[in-house]
Amino acid sequence: MVRPTALGGRLWNIIPKHNWLLFPGSKLRASILAHPAFKDAKVEVGQNALSITVEERKPAYLWCGNDPKVIESCFFADSEAIIFADAPIFS
């Protein structure tokens, strides 16, 4: 997570870290992609704007474990078989 403290203070005790040229866009993108529900993220930083575009994973499969007799929890997986979210138990 990019914390407000990452934008606080000054670089070389001169330039404010909240200057748009110093915005940690790659750190923000990495923070977004650390969440398994997001497949991709694009962060664009401009002088007067910050644009964040995310692509969410889409459920393609429901995985409920290897034993069909014991279903304790189920998960959604995308087309690449990446599990990204808990699924409700269907009856």
> Tell me: the pLDDT tens digits for 33-84?
999 999 999 998 877 788 899 999 999 999 888 777 777 788 999 999 999 9
Are 63 and 85 in contact by the 8 Å Cβ rule? The answer is no
Sequential DSSP letters for 42-53: EEEE-SS-EEEE
Q: 22: which 2 tokens?
A: 């110093």
Q: 26: which 2 tokens?
A: 């790659």
d(CA 14, CA 21): 14
| Residue type for position 53 | T
37 or 91, greater pLDDT? 37
d(CA 43, CA 26): 8
